[in-house]
Amino acid sequence: MTRFRSILSGLLAGAAVLTATAALAAPPIRDIVLVHGAFVDGSGWRPVYDILTRDGFKVSIVQEPLTGLDADVDATKRVIDQQDGK
């Protein structure tokens, strides 16, 4: 059992190093899309928008038409498609 734990610990440590290395190599995420819920509009995200933009993020708020699920999904996809990065 001790040998199993040693092997498992080694594998987990190796996986952690690989994950950390991949995270360092990946470009940082700078685009954020905020989507409001039902019975409200995008203005509810304003405090969050202010904080994120102050911290250097590019923030977009989807203004859902609230005419139906398909229209809301289309509006969200349009905003996501306009983003520069991930």
- Range list of H helices, 30-86: 46-54, 69-81
E-strand ranges in 30-70 read 31-35, 58-62
**Residue 86: inside a domain:** no
Q: Tell me how far CA of residue 35 lies from CA of 5, 41, 48, in angstroms.
A: 45, 9, 12
pLDDT given for residue 6 in this prediction:
55
**Residue 25: inside a domain:** yes
pLDDT given for residue 29 in this prediction:
82
Task: State the Cα–Cα distance between residues 79 and 34, nearest whole angstrom.
Answer: 10
Task: Read off the pLDDT of residues 9-54 as tens digits, 9 standing for 90 and up.
Answer: 554 555 554 445 555 677 788 899 999 987 788 889 999 999 999 9
pLDDT given for residue 71 in this prediction:
94
pLDDT given for residue 81 in this prediction:
93
pLDDT given for residue 72 in this prediction:
92
pLDDT band at 59 (very low <50, low <70, confident <90, very high): very high
Question: Which residue, among 54, 58, 51, has the nearest Cα to 32 in the 3D structure?
Answer: 58
Domain count within the chain: 1
Q: What pTM value is reported for the model? A: 0.63
**Residue 32: inside a domain:** yes
Q: Give the structural domain span for 16.
A: 2-81
